[in-house]
A and B are shown apart, each in its own frame.
With several copies, the nearest count.
Chain A
Amino acid sequence: MADGYNKPIPIPQPESDHYWEGAKAGELRLRKCDDCNKAYFYPRNICPDCGNNNTSWIVASGKAKVHTFAIVHRPPHPGFMDDLPYVPAIVELEEGPRMATQLVNVTPEPEAISIDMPVKVVFESITDEISLPKFEPA
């Protein structure tokens, strides 16, 4: 844990505690609907497609490709001041769903990052309970 971490920290909720436990353990866990046979994000007990509760957890491969990104130069929150410029992104997981994240270990310049580039998950520990799934070039 980085002492003095002052960015927003997720507070696990009834439908997401298993997700965050997974992230802490180095697993990217996804919800999957066993009726639709399809993974979805973010974690919900009820499938957003069919509305049924016949849902389970799977462990994602962690492989993804960049769906979009930006390069932030003006902090939306004081906690991000020292990170500028940083690279928020949406990635498309191998299993299908998209999720929001941050790209790390990339040069924060438009020329250095491309949409569709392959990335893989890395977990950044921010508190004893929470690790954030970020992505770096695969």
Chain B
Amino acid sequence: MPVMDRLKAISGSAAIVGVAESDRFGRTPDRGPMELHAEAGRNALADAGIDKSEVDGVFTSGGYSTYDIAEYMGIAPHFTDSTSVGGSSFVIHIAHAMAAIEAGYCEVALITYGQTGRSDRARGALNLYGVTPGLPNAQYEAPFGIIGPPIAYSMAANRYMHQYGEDRTREAMANVAVSTRKWANMNEKAHFYDTPMTFDEYHDSRWISWPFHLLDCCLVTDGGAAVVITSAERAKSTRKGGVAILGAAEGHDHAILHQMPDLTRTWGRNTGPQALEMAGVTHSDLDMAMIYDSFTYTVLVTLESLGFCGPGESPDFVANQRTAPGGDFALNTNGGGLSYAHPGSYGIFTVLEAVRQLRGETGERQLDDCKLAMAHGTGGLLSSTGTVVLGRE
């Protein structure tokens, strides 16, 4: 079990000092994923005011090893971490970076991400069904047409509906879809910046895998993102100062769907409480939460797992557009994977938005007096989670 005394001792010892997307964002048919990694990495370093030559720790995931990305970018790191547990990986890298910095393995950590899900699909290059014969899903799920996240997540959602009520769950999913779109309408980088969504449009959108409508599902876009982390001490001399990493936690409890112990609880049940305790804060202290919204259901199951509300209570928690702009719980203020961007593994974008809200850089959608934020990634088939609590005085 995590040793809380030691975690508390390193709380705040490292800080996020740079965040950025790639220059090309949304649809980039003429750009490959590695270039998006590199663009975002360069932009995040510029955001921090740190030269590439000072990077001595690299972190990545999503089809590339750190040596692929570091070679491309011309970086030879002393610490390397390609932890690959789906879309939460890039949130998990934050804790790994802090631990490495605290232990002395490196001083400047660069986390990069880049994917071209949208253009891959257009190019016909997407290999969703390249199943590895030796992995269990090739034998025990794929033959039954259980392939890819939408089907798996919709099966989990149906179990939730059965346990907690179909109509109220449906209404909650609609609330999440619509409130998230409202935030996207305030983010000019968002795919759906110019496109509002009504409840009717949600309910009328076509079925992908019942109980999921099209508008329960995240986007498929192209894009990259990167995060720069250094010690709290060194953060003071960076261009914008640091956003402190106060709490962090990670883990997973299954890989393929039918092995998930409870389809209505993710590993966030551990990472939420751990990250908050490490930070010495509680849910009610948070000014905002960024929760990976691969699907509307992902938000509901995650809010409960993290402890924002009890099992079965998230439909009440998100009711009446409570999580929309102007509501009293600021959630996914960038417009989320549902309406802002989702190149394939969205986790890192939860961190970008949390940092920008804490810095006061988000313009029209800026929250008042935002000092404490949670960013949370989910990976695989509700399999892995990574949670961080970030703060700024």
Contacts and interface: CB of A to CB of B under 8 A. Distances in A.
Given A90-B155, A100-B257, A102-B145, A72 B209 contact: yes
A114 B142 CA distance: 23
Interface in A91-122: 98-102, 110, 115-116
Nearest to B45: A51
B145 A80 contact: yes
Given A51-B74, A90-B257, A68 B263 contact: yes
Interface in B199-217: 206-212
B162 interface: yes
Interface stretch (B128-136, B234-242, B300-308): B128-136
Contacts of B259: 42
Interface in B102-130: 128-129
A86 B151 CA distance: 11
B72 interface: yes
Interface residues of B, number: 53
B146 interface: yes
A105 B29 CA distance: 40
B206 A9 contact: no
A68 B156 contact: yes
Nearest to A75: B145
A76 B207 contact: no
Chain A residues touching B, majority SS: loop
Interface in A51-68: 51-52, 67-68
Q: Tell me whether chain B's interface is mostly helix, strand or loop, or mixed.
A: helix
Contacts, number: 152
Nearest to A8: B142
A72 B259 CA distance: 20
Contacts of B131: 8
A69 to B, nearest CB: 6
Contacts of A85: 207, 210
B148 interface: yes
Contacts of A75: 145
Contacts of B321: none
A44 B114 CA distance: 15
Contacts of B156: 68
Interface residues of A, number: 51
B168 interface: no
Contact of A88 (B39, B41, B136, B151): B151
A30 interface: no
Contacts of B151: 70, 72, 76, 88
B269 interface: no
A15 B143 CA distance: 18
B145 A42 contact: no
Contacts of B30: 14
Given A7-B143, A42-B139, A90-B155, A110 B258 contact: no
B38 interface: yes
Contacts of A51: 38, 41-42, 45, 52, 73-74
Given A15-B31, A76-B145, A102-B145, 9 more contacts: A8-B131, A14-B29, A70-B158, A73-B209, A77-B129, A86-B145, A90-B258, A100-B140, A115-B162
